[in-house]
Amino acid sequence: MTTEISTTTTPARGLALQTFDDAWRFWQMVAKTEFAPKDFRGKPEACMLAGQHAAEIGIGPMQGLQCIAVINGRPSIWGDAALALVQSSHVCEWVTEQVEGDGDAMVATCTAKRRGYPQATTVQFSVVDAKKAGLWGKSGPWTQYPKRMLQLRARGFALRDAFPDVLKGLVTAEEAQDYPTPEPAREPVVVRPKFDAAPQVTPTADEAHMQQRRLAVSKVSDVGKLEQMQATVEERLRSGFINGRLDWLTGDNGQEFTHEAAEHEVQA
């Protein structure tokens, strides 16, 4: 595996970077200076990749650092650099641009002629197109320099249509900046129960019988019936019928009351 760095197709000017180590040391130095644009400052890895990308489309390393921009994770080229790159190519015969009209009637036109082709490529971008794309009146350059932005958008489309081999699929940075920023992926929401479900406990026969009796007592709302039930219980206590269960009534021994009263006694 070679460590040589790709060079431009034009004769080298200035410092020639022939090896990976030479390029790495060079970009480490550049990243510490104000020659590096803000997005590349302090990032020698990004500087090195931008320089290599520029070399692949025929631009020198330092020039590429000023011309290449990474927007939303995608490399792009500034509009003026795209025009310069195309005009310096032998396949370009000529490129003309103009902006006509005023206000909402403005229309930018870019015509590019490729050598050997019978017809030129013409692209127009109007205020109507900008409004459809949600760009007209957008804060920033579209408000400050609307005519210039129309011109750059028409240029970018025309140059990509006429010279895709020269631009190597790069879009203009001005166009890339207008793309909506993708939202980061969100983890799916998992709904979990707040508390664990209580285990189902099947009551014994005695417990079920006692629950029924307690339910019957709770449904009695007549004071006279309650007094009659109390008198029945006291009579059974005096007769000794439920002798030995008094401790359960006072809760001393923890035993359950197991006497099964007749249905008519409970309802009496």
Tens digits of residue pLDDT in 51-84: 888 888 888 888 888 888 888 878 899 999 999 9
Write down the pLDDT at residue 71: 86
Write down the pLDDT at residue 152: 95
C-alpha span between 138 and 19 (Å, rounded): 45
Mean pLDDT on 123-144: 93
Write down the pLDDT at residue 131: 94
Instruction: Return the half-sphere exposure (C-beta side, CA atoms, 13 A cut-off) of residue 57.
Output: 27
Q: pLDDT tens digit string along 153-183?
A: 999 999 999 999 999 889 999 999 888 776 6
Give percent helix, percent strand, percent coil of the chain, each to the nearest 5: 45, 15, 40
Write down the pLDDT at residue 182: 64
Q: pLDDT tens digit string along 251-263?
A: 455 444 455 554 5
Q: Choose from 31-35, 193-197, 223-227, 262-266 the range with maximum mean pLDDT.
A: 31-35
Mean pLDDT on 21-25: 87
41 — alpha (psi -120 to 50), left (phi > 0) or beta? beta
CB distance 63 to 37 below 8 Å: no
Write down the pLDDT at residue 20: 86
More confident position, 247 or 66: 66
Instruction: Give the residues across from 69 on adjacent strands.
Output: 76
**Burial class for 229, CB neighbours closer than 10 Å (0-12, 13-18, 19+):** middle
Question: Rounded mean pLDDT of the chain?
Answer: 79
Confidence of residue 222 (pLDDT cuts 50, 70, 90): low
Tokens of 6: 């790709």
Percent of the chain with pLDDT over 90: 36
Instruction: Return the half-sphere exposure (C-beta side, CA atoms, 13 A cut-off) of residue 264.
Output: 0
Q: Where are the domains of the chain?
A: 90-168, 206-267
Write down the pLDDT at residue 3: 40
pLDDT higher than 70, residue 8: no
